[in-house]
Amino acid sequence: MTDTPLITDSHCHLDFPDFEGEVPDLIARAAQAGVTRMVTICTRLRNEPAVRALAEAHAPVFYAAGTHPMSVAEEPMATLEQLLTIAQHPKMIGIGETGLDYHYTSESAQAQQTSLRIHIEAARETGLPLIIHARDADEDMARILTEEHAKGAYACVMHCFSSSAALARAALDLGFYLSMSGITAFPKSEELRDIFRTAPLDRILVETDAPYLAPPPKRGKRNEPAFVAHTAMRAAETFGLDYAAFAAQTQENFARLFSKAAPHG
């Protein structure tokens, strides 16, 4: 439908086995829901060629690449040179996801912090936005992001943000963006929605994190890019906006942060 508001899924994982053989159908369903772009995230650099191939094969698909913090102990440490080389691809538009996860992988905390700083330097040198995963590591996350920003500015989005108000404020004070996932649409997430309400509207993105975290009314099912519209509809209510206005704002925000995607329409 031509009057369907346009929107972007700023974070998904189309290379995961959950979607094997289905990507063209996923993209078609996304288009029907108004999803014009999606960013598929490479979480292990050895998988970058396959993720890059998805972006090359499908016009609406862009990609980012990095080493997920939960994978740092199992993967070779990413190098700045690797990330700078990968970033030269025209559809590679972000660095990460990187970050800190002390919930499942606290034993690799020091290695995660080293990896995070390498990714930050790549974001700084390329001008591409950093994509952050943060779980149960708020103090170290805020400290490192702030320390590194003092060395030289960089852009950043806190992907699937579900951390504390303090970390949200630290990120916003640095000029960073917060991304709303399906978690923000769950009935019991009012405290999280309150955190988002304190954020400037021009610093908000939406995402699926597909295949995870499907929003109502799809909760419990495999998530996919088309479902970002459900998250955004609930987010519009959070901000007291109609869906079309909220979707348009997030489109502007995405284009501003992920400016490398602009030449591709």
| pLDDT tens readout for residues 45-95 | 999 999 999 999 999 999 999 999 999 999 999 999 999 999 999 999 999
- The full set of domain ranges for the chain reads 7-264
With contact defined as beta carbons under 8 Å apart, do 130 and 98 qualify? Answer: yes
Whether the bond between 263 and the residue before it is cis, its omega within 30 degrees of 0, is no
Q: Which residues of 207-226 are buried (b: 16+ CB within 10 A; e: fewer)?
A: bbbbbbbbbeebeeeebbbb
Q: What is the pLDDT of residue 3?
A: 86
Q: What is the pLDDT of residue 96?
A: 97
- With bands split at pLDDT 50, 70 and 90, how would you rate the model's confidence at 170? very high
Listed in sequence order, the residues at least 6 apart from 245 whose beta carbon sits closer than 8 Å to its beta carbon are 236
Q: Tokens 């490192």: give the residue.
A: 144
Q: Can you tell me the mean pLDDT for 114-126?
A: 98
Predicted model pTM: 0.97
CATH T-level fold of 7-264: TIM Barrel (3.20.20)
Phi, psi of 41 (to 5 degrees): -105, 125
- With bands split at pLDDT 50, 70 and 90, how would you rate the model's confidence at 1? very low
With contact defined as beta carbons under 8 Å apart, do 86 and 48 qualify? Answer: yes
Listed in sequence order, the residues at least 6 apart from 68 whose beta carbon sits closer than 8 Å to its beta carbon are 43, 44, 97, 98, 99, 101, 133
User: Does 2 score more than 60 pLDDT?
Assistant: no
As a whole number of angstroms, the distance between CA 248 and CA 265 comes to: 15
Q: How many CB atoms lie within 10 A of CB 106?
A: 12
